[in-house]
Amino acid sequence: MAEHTKSKFNPSCHQEIITMQNITFSYEQKQVITDLNFSIKERDFVGLIGSNGAGKTTLLRMIVGLLKPEHGSISLFGEPIGKFKHWERIGYVPQKNSFNPLFPVTVREVILSGLYGRSKLFSRISKADLVKAEDAMHAMQIEDLSNKRIGQLSGGQQQRVFLARALINNPALLILDEPTVGIDVETQEGFFHMIKHMHQHHNITFLMVSHDMDMVRSYLGQEPLQQNGKLKFYVKHSHELENCVENDLTHSLKGLRQSMNQRAPVVI
């Protein structure tokens, strides 16, 4: 299964990961997105910026199939979204406030849930799954929190847990929905450093919704590449990076922590 999906992704860094064509969407009478054309290529880093009501979350929900565009089409990894089956290639980090802090669930249980997709519908959690969870926790430096209840953690630690959950499947595309909301500035910087590092050293394509202009601009440039209504797209293209790299689970997760530690310690 894994071999099959891997072979479909060529390492030339030119595959279109997300293709949006003539997308229009409106709530009631208010048109939020009008005739949007945008594509994200392999290993691009796209920052999606906009004020409240600009349609950031709407667009994100359309890309992951939770909303249908009124007009236009969306393709994921070259396949129309209706036929797309390889959801395990997409890692998703929700907004921090999307769960109840009282929810009785441990860090390990949350991280394992990243594996619960269509292909695992009738199978049990295997030893290999548990190893993957350990690797993901190790990469995010949260292994000592594995049996803690998620609500007991700080905002920054929770964000790492959700990032670990998104990484457990070795995703080719990572979607982050305002990952730094409600986290103090120092932790935000550590988190952003980690994200940048992953982009530079691992073959992951990023789509990040953010309201934090400073951080986005410092990495993705001062001017948006494209604008649609109040939505602004800031992009760092893959060709600005050194070269294409392998997207290998064991390498990326195990190597992640090592290479991050070498560069600069991450502040939790």
Partner 1 sequence: MDILSTEFFQRALIGGVLIGVTAPLMGLFLVLRRLAMIGDTLAHVSIAGVALGFLIGVYPIAMGLVFALAASFAIEKLRRAYKTYAELSIAIIMSGGVALASLLFTLGKGFNVNVTSYLFGSIYTLDNTDLIVIGAVTVIVLFMVKLHFKELFLLTFDEDAAAVNGLPVRYFNIMISVLTALVISASIKIVGALLVSALLTIPAACSLIIARSFKQSIITVVVIAELAVIGGLMAAGVWNLAPGASVVLLLILILVLLLAMKRGFKI
Q: Which is nearer to partner 1, 104 or 128 (CB)?
A: 104
**DSSP state, 89?**
G
* Residue numbers at the binding site for partner 1 (CB under 8 A): 64-66, 85, 87-88, 90, 92, 94, 98-100, 102-106, 109-110, 113-114, 116-118, 120-122, 125, 147-149, 165, 175
Q: Which is nearer to partner 1, 11 or 94 (CB)?
A: 94
Q: Which is nearer to partner 1, 48 or 220 (CB)?
A: 48
> Least distance from C-beta 117 to partner 1, angstroms?
4
CB 156 within 8 A of CB 184: yes
Q: What is the DSSP string of 138-193?
A: HHTT-GGGTTSBGGGS-HHHHHHHHHHHHHTT--SEEEEESTTTTS-HHHHHHHHH
> Least distance from C-beta 101 to partner 1, angstroms?
11
> Least distance from C-beta 224 to partner 1, angstroms?
26
> Least distance from C-beta 149 to partner 1, angstroms?
5
3 state DSSP class of 105: coil
Other CB atoms closer than 10 Å to residue 177's CB: what's the count? Answer: 22
CA dihedral of residues 42, 174, 260, 14 (deg, nearest 10): 0
Q: Which is nearer to partner 1, 31 or 106 (CB)?
A: 106
